[in-house]
A and B are shown apart, each in its own frame.
Chain A
């Protein structure tokens, strides 16, 4: 049996998700395939590939948000709207993280794009500019 590529698996998972199949059932199926092929260490990459596939199909944009303080619901809505417009996705899923080390500002990361205006990023840029 030929070993399935990560890209083929991610396409399969996206197809199944869009077909309305249960996420748990798809996850079990994928896990079984990866265990059999001995590539469990690539699970994080596979999740990233599935997100990328969904974003490319303009179905779902999974965005990881990092800020120093929690975002208000108003800001979250505005953020979803902006990301939806930028990616063209029908739906946006936010994975918000509060991290004081960024000092201030916000970092928005989708599977294909990154907007980073955190203070720590600007300080790094400042150091690199010298």
Chain B
């Protein structure tokens, strides 16, 4: 147990006037004030700067994060706009390609139809020409056979009918032609 000499209290006892009227021990107050100031200085000198630094770094990190977030948001927006543009262009190109393909297909179909029609016409013409040729050949064959038949028949009839007298008559007529 700490014992304080009575003399101490006797010497430090505050008078009833001035600050002593508030029942504050001046010495204790000064001691506590100095202690507080020292603590304050110590805090200001060694504690506060790191805390401030940390807070500043956090604030900067936060600001940076906010800026980055904003940039990211803007980049995202730009990317969305770009994507929309790309999609629009792609749609236009797809439509154009589709139209072109459709046109090409129509041209191919038209060309094929035209070629088929020409080919068909050609086949018909060839068939008609061949038919005409065959018809002509048959007509010639028929004429030859008819000529052969007529000549054979005439020969048989002449052989039967021709006698010395008619032969002489024929020879005499020939002699008339010798000029």
Q: Is the CB of A127 within 8 A of B151?
A: yes
Chain A residues bordering chain B, tally (CB within 8 A): 25
**Considering only CB atoms, which chain A residue lies closest to B150 in the complex?**
A126
Q: Is the CB of B167 within 8 A of A82?
A: no
Which residue in A75, A83, A123, A126 is a CB contact (below 8 Å) of B168? A75
Take A126-B147, A130-B147 as given contacts and tell me if A104 and B166 are in contact as well, using a CB distance cutoff of 8 Å. Answer: yes
Q: Is the CB of B175 within 8 A of A68?
A: no
Interface residues of B in 140-163 (CB under 8 A from A): 143-144, 146-148, 150-151, 154-155, 158-159, 162
For B174, the chain A residues whose CB sits under 8 A away are 105-106, 108, 115, 117
A71 within 8 A of B: yes
CA distance A110 to B85 in the complex (A): 109
Which residue in B162, B177, B178 is a CB contact (below 8 Å) of A103? B162
Which residue in A68, A126, A127, A130 is a CB contact (below 8 Å) of B167? A68
For A52, the chain B residues whose CB sits under 8 A away are none
A85 within 8 A of B: yes
**Considering only CB atoms, which chain A residue lies closest to B171 in the complex?**
A106
Interface size of B as a range: 20 to 34
For B177, the chain A residues whose CB sits under 8 A away are 115, 117
Q: Is the CB of B146 within 8 A of A85?
A: no
A10 within 8 A of B: no
B45 within 8 A of A: no
Take A75-B168, A103-B155, A119-B155 as given contacts and tell me if A82 and B178 are in contact as well, using a CB distance cutoff of 8 Å. Answer: yes
Q: Is the CB of B162 within 8 A of A119?
A: yes
Q: Is the CB of B171 within 8 A of A127?
A: no
CA distance A83 to B164 in the complex (A): 23
Q: Is the CB of B143 within 8 A of A130?
A: yes
B27 within 8 A of A: no
Q: Is the CB of A69 within 8 A of B179?
A: no
Q: How far in angstroms is the closest Cβ of chain A from B175?
A: 5
**Considering only CB atoms, which chain B residue lies closest to A108 in the complex?**
B178
B173 within 8 A of A: yes
B115 within 8 A of A: no
Q: How far in angstroms is the closest Cβ of chain B from A58?
A: 16
CA distance A67 to B172 in the complex (A): 12
Interface residues of B (CB under 8 A from A): 143-144, 146-148, 150-151, 154-155, 158-159, 162, 164, 166-168, 170-175, 177-179
Sampled A-B contacts (9; CB under 8 Å):
A67-B167, A68-B167, A75-B175, A86-B179, A106-B171, A119-B155, A126-B147, A127-B147, A130-B143
